[in-house]
């Protein structure tokens, strides 16, 4: 129930606070006190629209044209006090936000030394008194009585009492609150007092207009002065908004007068219907059409999608239904005409942007990060924005000129029906897929490791052979030098390892790169497609079982964890190993979640601290945003949020498994062992700070760091990558302490690479095909070495079997496992990462690149054969 009420009534205020806080942090360089003052002014400016129609404000007017408007008759018992209600919602939102942010800690503002503590500005003897809560109450109380005193009218006790009681409650609740929070409400009280005094003066509207223009002009000058603080696109957007506000303030009467003329009266009968259907379309688009479209693309990839969908529907309903209704009900006929036309234009534009001019940003991860964001074509996005806006305006203009707004209303009804039907189909797909996964998960419950079973998974012996394959999803080879620069000790920590930088993967994503990595050269995309009589699922499963089958039959104890894409399922299906000799398989992702949170002193968080709480709503708005402005909302993957990213929730499923890897291992005296561990710590980079520690708190990188690595997204990846290697190196120390390091062969490998903006390799595609490959042989010691030998990740089965099993035969194809295909022509392949986008028995290859001369660092060696 709390989440329901919070999403519907509190979230809009809290989200606007967070967005403006984010913008001001960038501009004002962490001047938190000034940011709070500006936030208070802006949020209270929003409430002025309703305050000017409240019973307190209008009780002091001789005549109030608005109260004569027919709209006030509906819900008249609550409308006079709507400002009081919204004021309370804003109070709850500020408390929720400021109590759950770390930005107040150790931040000062004039005599306030720590905005996270009560002000304690007055000291009498040994007792400290807080002056700010008192000032807050005094300013607010005086603001209530000021209009009556200035206008020499009798104070209406029945009117002022609710306000006085509310401010008294605020006083008691905030007396020992952080002074940064109280500062917000001190400014709010001053602002309310200022408005009431201003409204009592002659020409108050002109004075208010003048102040808004001055305020916006100062902001404009400030933006220009801080031009280098923002990317050019963000700065242009802010300047345009600032100028638009000034224009509306300057020409308010002229705009209203235009819409008050009888020229618009013939369409009045259609206005309310248009407004209603426009708001419903925006609600449907953002509340469930866009979310369901995303979730249905990979139902099992997004955790807790149904709960996220419900929250998003509530949040969309709050903005596009509840507040849209409030603005309509509290507006004059002229303003309603403006609102109706504007919202109709917005609904059409949203549809065009969301379903026609969608943009190509690559796949989006469960952490809501686009994997190809930095390579978007900005010029095309500008053209799409102009086209979408022009078409939307043209439709509105033509229908207005021919007085056929009824056609638009009918079109909206058809569009709504279509969206509901499509969304229903997508919802059915999600539920069906989730039910299948849940049923399978229940059947595998005994095989999966619970949070209480933390030991005896991976086996090691002190006298036999131990082989450990650590598969790090999306760990790129070309990133390793940057990690070594950030943490030079890794060169020594990776004792006995050889790094092969001249390595390729046969695919740019897991579905294309994983099979060859696990099964050898017989499982490249081309070889997979040659076996047309076997399903794609069976061939991928084969690749995952080749090494376990060989070593299990040879008497090795084999353990496989989290087998990626087993049965082509996003959630690994360990049942593919059920009937194999000496082979055990477990899903262990997330088993250390609680332990890690506890050791990191992770505490329960308010709604404003949960990244996932409204991320789907932000993505929905992003989807219907004009393409050219989308980067402003995405904001380098931070989504204009100041809380920890959702990648933390993904990271604690995988990173702690590496950090506590020694606790998953069992050492015995005899036996031979093969352990295959698959981990995604580098796939969805979590929020790691400059000490390479995973944290749920927001992490922001310096301008120097971003300049060095081109973008914040790349800094984030490099820090996650480095933290992963550090965690692994600690496990090496454990192996040495247990006396099993020398008799253990370790292969650290990835299925594919990742891109950098600087195009480190020959061309941008090469970066996706350059996986990490690190090998430590038995009894190998010494600083990390670098080998220029040409390798592919399909060499892993050869490396693993060499010296242990000798010449090996693939039990599923009968062919020898060796690296001889590497001496022939080498091709790498592009295609969709999603299994559903391929055929039953084959991969759909969308691109082929030949890599010649066994050198990936020469651009002339990369030849595009198929696009």
pLDDT 10s digits, 694-734: 887 767 776 677 777 766 677 888 889 999 999 999 999 99
Q: Indicate the angle between helix axes 232-250 and 252-260, nearest 10 degrees.
A: 70
pLDDT value for 596: 84
Nearest to 408 by CA among 392, 421, 423, 419: 392
pTM above 0.75, yes or no: no
Rounded Cα gap, residues 509 and 278, in angstroms: 40
Question: pLDDT at position 453, please?
Answer: 46
Query: What pLDDT score was predicted for residue 72?
Result: 44
Q: Is 36 exposed, middle or buried (0-12, 13-18, 19+ CB in 10 A)?
A: buried
Contact between 642 and 635 under an 8 Å Cβ cutoff? The reply is: no
| CA triple 180-181-184, angle to 5 deg | 90
Q: What is the pLDDT of residue 223?
A: 65
**Token pair belonging to 199:** 């409204």
Evaluate whether 180 touches 32 at the Cβ level (below 8 Å): yes
Type and span of the H or E element at 716: helix 712-737
Q: Do 724 and 473 form a contact (C-beta atoms < 8 A)?
A: no
Q: In degrees rounded to 5, what are phi and psi of residue 701?
A: -105, 150
Cβ contacts of 298 within 8 Å, gap of 6 or more: 570, 834
Q: Output Rg (C-alpha) for the chain, integer angstroms.
A: 31
Write down the residue that tokens 């039910």 correspond to.
Answer: 435
pLDDT of residue 373: 65
Is-contact 544 550, C-beta < 8 A?
A: no
Q: How far apart (Å, rounded) are the C-alpha atoms in residues 734 and 136?
A: 58
Q: Beta partners for 622?
A: none
Contact, 124 vs 109, CB < 8 A?
no
Q: What's the confidence (pLDDT) of residue 443?
A: 46
pLDDT for residue 492: 92
In contact, 750 and 683? CB cutoff 8 Å? no
CA atoms within 13 A on the CB side of 394: 7
Q: Which positions ≥6 away from 212 have C-beta within 8 Å? A: 245, 246, 249
Report the candidate in 662, 782, 645, 776 with the shortest Cα–Cα distance to residue 720: 645
Low-confidence ranges of the chain (pLDDT < 50): 59-75, 442-447, 451-454, 603-604
**DSSP structural state of residue 644:** P
The residue among 285, 272, 288, 265 whose CA lies nearest residue 325 is 272
Do 279 and 320 contact (CB within 8 A), yes or no? yes
Give every CB contact of residue 863 below 8 A, 6+ residues apart in sequence. Answer: 849, 850, 851, 852
Question: Which is it for strands 673-679 and 122-124: parallel, antiparallel or unpaired?
Answer: unpaired
pLDDT at residue 275, rounded to an integer: 85
**3-state DSSP call for residue 466?**
strand
Q: Which tokens hold the place of 122?
A: 């007055």
What CA–CA distances, in Å, run from 367 to 302, 570, 612, 650, 782? Answer: 9, 15, 9, 7, 38
Q: At what angle do helices 157-174 and 82-98 cross, to 10 degrees?
A: 0
């Amino acid at each position: 129930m709390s989440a329901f009420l919070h999403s519907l009534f509190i979230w809009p205020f809290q989200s606007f606070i967070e967005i403006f806080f984010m913008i001001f942090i960038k501009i004002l360089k962490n001047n938190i006190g000034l940011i709070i003052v500006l936030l208070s002014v802006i949020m209270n400016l929003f409430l002025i629209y309703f305050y000017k129609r409240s019973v307190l404000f209008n009780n002091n007017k001789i005549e109030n044209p608005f109260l004569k408007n027919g709209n006030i008759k509906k819900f008249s018992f609550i409308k006079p006090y709507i400002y009081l209600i919204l004021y309370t919602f804003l109070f709850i939102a500020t408390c929720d936000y400021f109590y759950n942010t770390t930005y107040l800690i150790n931040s000062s503002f004039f005599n306030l030394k720590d905005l996270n503590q009560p002000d304690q500005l007055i000291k009498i003897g040994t007792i400290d008194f807080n002056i700010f809560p008192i000032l807050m109450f005094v300013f607010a109380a005086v603001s209530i009585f000021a209009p009556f005193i200035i206008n020499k009218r009798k104070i209406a006790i029945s009117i002022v009492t609710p306000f006085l009681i509310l401010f008294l409650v605020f006083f008691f609740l905030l007396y020992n609150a952080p002074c940064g929070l109280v500062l917000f409400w001190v400014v709010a009280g001053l602002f309310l007092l200022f408005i009431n005094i201003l409204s009592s003066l002659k020409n108050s509207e002109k004075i208010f207009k003048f102040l808004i223009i001055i305020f916006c002009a100062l902001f404009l000058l400030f933006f220009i002065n801080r031009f280098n603080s923002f990317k050019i696109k963000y700065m242009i957007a802010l300047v345009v908004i600032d100028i638009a506000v000034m224009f509306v303030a300057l020409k308010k009467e002229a705009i209203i007068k235009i819409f008050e003329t009888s020229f618009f009266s013939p369409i009045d009968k259609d206005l309310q219907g248009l407004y209603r259907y426009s708001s419903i379309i925006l609600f449907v688009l953002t509340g469930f059409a866009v979310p369901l479209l995303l979730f249905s693309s990979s139902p099992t990839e997004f955790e807790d999608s149904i709960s996220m969908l419900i929250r998003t529907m509530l949040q969309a309903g709050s903005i596009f239904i509840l507040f849209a209704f409030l603005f309509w009900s509290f507006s004059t006929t002229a303003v309603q005409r403006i609102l109706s036309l504007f919202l109709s234009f917005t609904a059409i534009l949203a549809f065009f942007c969301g379903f026609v001019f969608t943009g190509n940003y690559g796949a989006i991860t469960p952490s809501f990060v686009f994997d190809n964001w930095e390579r978007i074509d900005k010029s095309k996005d500008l053209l799409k924005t102009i086209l979408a806006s022009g078409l939307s305006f043209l439709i509105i203009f033509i229908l207005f000129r021919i007085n056929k707004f009824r056609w638009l209303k009918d079109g909206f009804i058809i569009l709504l029906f279509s969206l509901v039907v499509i969304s229903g189909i997508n919802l059915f797909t999600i539920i069906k897929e989730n039910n299948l996964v849940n049923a399978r998960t229940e059947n595998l419950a005994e095989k999966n490791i619970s949070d209480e079973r933390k030991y005896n998974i991976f086996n090691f012996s002190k006298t036999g052979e131990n082989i450990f394959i650590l598969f790090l999803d999306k760990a790129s080879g070309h990133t390793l030098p940057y990690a070594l620069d950030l943490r030079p000790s890794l060169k020594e920590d990776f004792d006995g390892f050889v790094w092969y930088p001249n390595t390729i993967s046969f695919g740019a994503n897991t579905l294309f790169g994983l099979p060859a990595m696990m099964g050898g050269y017989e499982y490249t995309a081309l070889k997979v497609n040659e076996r047309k009589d076997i399903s794609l699922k069976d061939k991928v499963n084969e690749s995952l079982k080749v090494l376990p089958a060989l070593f299990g039959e040879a008497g090795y104890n084999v353990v496989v964890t989290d087998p990626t894409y087993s049965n082509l399922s996003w959630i690994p299906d360990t049942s593919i190993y059920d009937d194999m000799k000496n082979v055990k398989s477990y899903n262990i992702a997330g088993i250390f979640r609680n332990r890690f949170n506890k050791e990191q002193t992770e505490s329960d968080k308010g709604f404003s601290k949960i990244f996932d709480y409204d991320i789907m709503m932000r993505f929905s708005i992003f989807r219907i945003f004009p393409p050219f402005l989308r980067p402003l909302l995405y904001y380098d993957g931070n989504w204009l949020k100041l809380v920890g990213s959702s990648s933390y929730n993904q990271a604690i499923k995988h990173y702690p498994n590496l950090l506590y890897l020694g606790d998953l291992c069992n050492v015995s005296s005899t036996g031979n062992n093969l352990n295959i561990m698959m981990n995604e710590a580098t796939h969805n980079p979590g929020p790691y700070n400059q000490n390479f520690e995973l944290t749920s708190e927001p992490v922001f990188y310096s301008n120097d760091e971003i300049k060095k690595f081109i973008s914040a997204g790349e800094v984030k990846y490099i820090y996650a990558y480095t933290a992963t290697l550090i965690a692994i190196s600690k496990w090496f120390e454990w192996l040495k302490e247990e006396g099993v390091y020398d008799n253990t062969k370790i292969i650290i490998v990835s299925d594919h690479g990742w891109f950098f903006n600087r195009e480190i390799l020959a061309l941008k595609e090469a970066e996706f095909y350059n996986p990490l490959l690190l090998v430590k042989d038995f009894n190998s010691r010494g600083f990390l070495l670098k080998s220029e030998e040409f390798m592919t990740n399909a060499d892993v089965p050869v490396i693993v079997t060499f010296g242990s099993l000798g010449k090996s035969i693939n039990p599923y194809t009968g062919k020898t496992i060796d690296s001889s295909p590497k001496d022939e022509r080498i091709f790498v392949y592009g295609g969709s990462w999603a299994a559903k986008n391929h055929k039953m028995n084959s991969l759909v290859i969308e691109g082929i690149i030949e890599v010649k001369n066994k050198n990936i660092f020469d651009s002339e060696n990369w030849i595009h054969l198929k696009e």
